[in-house]
Structure 1
Amino acid sequence: MEDWLFSSGDCSRPHQFENAERLRFRHGSTHAYLEETPVLPGIWLYRGEATANCQFQIEVGGGDRQGRVIMGGLLSSRGMLNLEGCDDMVWRDDGRFYALSPIERHCRYDIDAERGWRLVALRVEAEAMDLLGADDRLPDIVNDVLTVRRDNLADMGTLPGGIRRLSQSLLRTPFEGRVGKLFMQSKVLELLAYQFQHLGERPAPKTLSAIELTRIRMSRDMLLANLRDPPDLEALASAVGLSSKKLNRGFRDLYGTTVFAYLHDARLDAARAALEAGTPLPLKQLAWELGYGQVSNFVTAFRRRFGVTPGSLRDAKAPA
């Protein structure tokens, strides 16, 4: 059994997922949860969220299980991840993909949730190899961990757009009961395929300088500050002193997607957050506030992204 520990300030809470699938943690302004769900033999899904403007830590005991790999997406937050015996992995931006082999090694996450924390990760153990296929069908790095030939995997990089979108769809599934389980299983297998593809690739070295990274982050903040009427690509690039080509390439390197796609996702994320928070705005007004000229376009984009219409989500969140 593995001991998990959530802590913030002088408050801490231990948890064992063998006893309960969801850990809820509250301390002051910090409201967070982490959920472990068995999905298929040898495969578990982790989902977690926390409120904005809070800081907390998650520590996981090394346990005694061998042959497991964690592959996850940090959709929002910044912080540091440490696997005992490996170099610290520090991230400053939303959208980080990471892979770990927590085999008899203590693991610690230090989370700075300035804009909230959202995590979707999969744990794959050797038992899943019967389902996933022969050894030569898995990326070498995954096969080496599952067959206990490697125990020091600790890697982090840009979260690809495909993994980001699938992670978003798994964070809150639109179905319940048997249909919900089937939906979750299908999305988890699809996510695994994208994760394996990503781990099997060897991306080219990044060529962004420190100044360029700063300017790209500035441009991202400018987009988020005005979702209704953001500058176009040329104006945004000019405002931060980059060419439009360099800015788009930088967004791909840093956030795993283009400027336009990032803006599209940010608008829909903001819409969902507003609806879940109980905004009284009519859908037409909400769509306009987020830059949609037609409410029908907003509804279509929302349904494609989250599997439900904004009206259905609002109805589901309404008090009985």
Structure 2
Amino acid sequence: MTITISQQAFDELWKETRTNGTSHYPDPGDQFDLMHKFPQPLGRGYWREIQLREGFNLTIADYRVCDRLMIEFSDLDTTGIEYHFHLSGQTQCRQTNLEAGKYGVYGRGIEIESLGDISAREPFLEVIIEMLPETLHSLAGNPDGEIPKELQHLVRSSEQECYCRDGIATPAMQTVAKQIIQCPYQGIAKRVYLEGKALELMGMLLAVETEIQDGESNPHPLTGDLVDRIYYARDILQQRLDNPPSLRELARLVGLNECTLKQGFRRVFGTTVFGCLHGYCMEQAWQMLQTGTWKVGEVANMVGYKDLTAFGRAFRKKFGIRPRDCIKKFSVLA
């Protein structure tokens, strides 16, 4: 079954939900952190909104719709820059098709007509970061607050058509999004932590946007064959965690020169060859430690670390906790 609803009716359901007394503050010491129930006629779950500072907001959406939900939007207005990170669930909206491991970026502007299509097949988990143009101007790093030309497409006039794009999140992006959802703090510590993570994620995304805009004038765009070779190189790295090939060997295995391989990783995955490998190693280590099946030293060896101290240092830098604490944390939850 499919539920089709207009934008006005959808907004009315949300308004009713927010005023019926079910919203609450999950962190009693933070009046800028408010959790709303998802409208019950449509599904179950919550929508948590955190204002980090004026013009910079974070939202965590965790819900499941009862049936496939189609929302008919008209004159959709984006007042700032939005980044939507999907950790699970599938939706099509605003010229983007998002699922687990993908993200959507939307600049300021309008979209005349749009149809939102939210699947009911699996739970929906998403991290949304919203930044007003004035906030981005304040971070520009120059007295005039001028935004580089490579990013000006994100802050077009509010009367212009908005910029929309979806992409595949890098392992580093996925890690930070998960850290936001799993924030272990409360009060001011929570706010500082979440603002830092949101800015970190925003920085990664702006770097990718800059590279994409630079690449549009590149006389040597990525071809389908080249992209396939880049993905093949990543697969080789993931299959050989305990003994990864050198950059030269990896380039030879996929039939590319080292320079093309390095540039290809930057443009396809938004990170270096080593960064991609490191991010995947840490993700695998996290997942293995959660099971409680292996000791820390065994996990370190399986992801290519011979030095246990180096592994512990890298793990803590990535996730903010020690490997053995990861085991304890999830054994308690179990």
Q: TM-score range by the shorter chain?
A: 0.5 to 0.7
Tell whether the 8 Å contact from 1:161 to 1:256 is kept in structure 2 after alignment. Answer: no
Shift of 1:189: 3.9
Q: Which moved more, 1:89-98 or 1:237-246?
A: 89-98
Q: What residue in structure 2 maps to residue 72 of structure 1?
A: 83
Letter in 2 for 1:141: H
1:245 paired with 2:259, answer: yes
Q: What residue in structure 2 maps to residue 220 of structure 1?
A: 234
CA–CA separation in structure 2 for the residues paired with 1:238 and 1:130: 44
CA–CA separation in structure 2 for the residues paired with 1:224 and 1:3: 47
- Structure 1 stretches lacking a partner, 5+ long: 5-13, 25-31, 51-55
Shift of 1:43: 2.9
Shift of 1:119: 5.2
- Structure 1's 207 and 294: CA in aligned 2 closer, same or farther, altered over 3 A? same
Tell whether the 8 Å contact from 1:78 to 1:94 is kept in structure 2 after alignment. Answer: no
Tell whether the 8 Å contact from 1:72 to 1:119 is kept in structure 2 after alignment. Answer: no
Q: What residue in structure 2 maps to residue 170 of structure 1?
A: 180
Q: What residue in structure 1 maps to residue 297 of structure 2?
A: 284
CA–CA separation in structure 2 for the residues paired with 1:2 and 1:227: 51
Q: Give 3-state SS (helix, strand or coil) of 1:300's partner.
A: helix
Q: Which moved more, 1:282-291 or 1:39-48?
A: 39-48
Q: What residue in structure 2 maps to residue 234 of structure 1?
A: 248
Q: What residue in structure 2 maps to residue 40 of structure 1?
A: 53
Q: What residue in structure 1 maps to residue 284 of structure 2?
A: 270
Tell whether the 8 Å contact from 1:70 to 1:121 is kept in structure 2 after alignment. Answer: no
Q: Give 3-state SS (helix, strand or coil) of 1:264's partner.
A: helix
1:99 paired with 2:110, answer: no
- Structure 1's 35 and 285: CA in aligned 2 closer, same or farther, altered over 3 A? farther
Q: Give 3-state SS (helix, strand or coil) of 1:98's partner.
A: strand
Say which of 245, 249, 256 aligns to 2:270. Answer: 256
Say which of 140, 151, 160 aligns to 2:152. Answer: 140
Say which of 146, 153, 163 aligns to 1:153. Answer: 163
CA–CA separation in structure 2 for the residues paired with 1:141 and 1:36: 26
Q: What residue in structure 1 maps to residue 214 of structure 2?
A: 203
CA–CA separation in structure 2 for the residues paired with 1:77 and 1:242: 34
**TM norm structure 2:** 0.65
CA–CA separation in structure 1 for the residues paired with 2:55 and 2:207: 19
Q: Which moved more, 1:286-295 or 1:159-168?
A: 159-168
**TM norm structure 1:** 0.68
Higher relative contact order (CA 8 A, sep 6+): 1
Aligned length: 292
Letter in 1 for 2:130: R
Shift of 1:270: 1.1
1:318 paired with 2:328, answer: no
Say which of 184, 187, 191 aligns to 2:194. Answer: 184
Letter in 1 for 2:276: Y
- Structure 2 stretches lacking a partner, 5+ long: 1-6, 24-34, 39-44
CA shift digits 1:61-92 (9 cap, x unpaired):
64888442343265878988541xxxx44689
Letter in 1 for 2:298: Q
- Structure 1's 241 and 165: CA in aligned 2 closer, same or farther, altered over 3 A? same
Letter in 2 for 1:43: F
* CA RMSD across the alignment: 4.7
**Structure (1 or 2) with the larger CA radius of gyration:** 2
Letter in 1 for 2:165: D
